[in-house]
């Protein structure tokens, strides 16, 4: 194993431990004989009733997952989107967007944001960015955000000033009660 591969693997492990979810599992392809099943494009965070947190729940994480993109314009991270009903989180005191990402080559400045697909606009305050540095994973948190009212689909997007590949290790919403 080369040093850069070891650094990359260790960065993934650290990010998974810190974020407490296994974001990369949704990218796994399952081979069933001759049939190959691809993961669903949209994961749904839907419930049939309103989520009412108990007094003991102080924080809830809604994982989007991870992926990669290689574009100087905003590009969707394939399979990293959710449908969320804001009514389920009315009792929340604060919601923030958290992400960890890195640029394998260290080239350019990477940007990550959350995009409201349903209403066709970027979620204000979720754009996070950092300069490339080989082997460095950036863990970033947005200021508090407001979910759009109703049942909306949100997509994580990436761009890089030099069109270098940017890898999204993990992304999620953190809901504080």
pLDDT tens profile 12-39: 555 555 554 433 333 322 222 333 333 3
* Alpha carbon of residue 93 to chain centroid: 21
Q: How confident is the model at residue 93, as a pLDDT?
A: 96
**In the chain, where do the E strands start and end?**
30-32, 35-37, 43-45, 59-63, 67-69, 75-85, 94-102, 109-116, 121-122, 128-131, 138-141, 151-160, 166-176
For residues 97 and 82, what is the distance between their CA atoms, to the nearest angstrom?
A: 13
Q: pLDDT tens digit string along 143-167? A: 999 999 999 999 999 999 999 999 9
Q: How confident is the model at residue 8, as a pLDDT?
A: 56
Say which CATH number the domain at 78 has: 2.60.120.260
Q: How confident is the model at residue 24, as a pLDDT?
A: 35
Q: In degrees rounded to 5, what are phi and psi of residue 12?
A: -60, -45
Q: How many domains does the chain have?
A: 1
The SS3 assignment for 26 reads: helix
pLDDT above 90 covers what percent of the chain?
A: 64
pLDDT less than 70: residues of the chain: 1-55
Q: Residue 88 has what DSSP assignment?
A: G
Domain housing 113: 3-176
- Closest of 85, 159, 76 to residue 120, by C-alpha: 76
Residue 4 burial (CB count, 10 A): 12
For residues 73 and 160, what is the distance between their CA atoms, to the nearest angstrom?
A: 7
Q: How confident is the model at residue 12, as a pLDDT?
A: 55
Q: Residue 40 has what DSSP assignment?
A: P
> For the chain, what is the mean pLDDT?
79
């Amino acid at each position: 194993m080369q040093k850069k591969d070891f650094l990359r693997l260790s960065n993934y492990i650290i990010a998974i431990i810190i974020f407490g979810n296994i974001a990369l599992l949704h990218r796994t392809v399952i081979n069933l004989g001759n049939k190959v099943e691809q993961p669903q494009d949209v994961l749904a965070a839907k419930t049939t009733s309103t989520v009412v947190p108990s007094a003991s729940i102080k924080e809830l994480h809604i994982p989007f997952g991870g992926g990669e993109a290689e574009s100087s314009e905003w590009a969707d991270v394939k399979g990293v989107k959710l449908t969320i009903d804001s009514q389920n989180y009315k009792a929340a005191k604060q919601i923030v967007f958290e992400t960890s990402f890195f640029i394998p080559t260290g080239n350019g400045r990477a940007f990550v944001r959350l995009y409201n697909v349903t209403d066709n606009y970027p979620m204000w305050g979720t754009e996070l960015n950092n300069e490339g540095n080989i082997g460095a994973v950036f863990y970033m948190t947005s200021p508090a955000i407001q979910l759009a009212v109703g049942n909306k689909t949100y997509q994580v997007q990436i761009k890089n000033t030099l069109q270098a590949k940017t890898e999204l290790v993990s992304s999620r919403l953190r809901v504080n009660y």
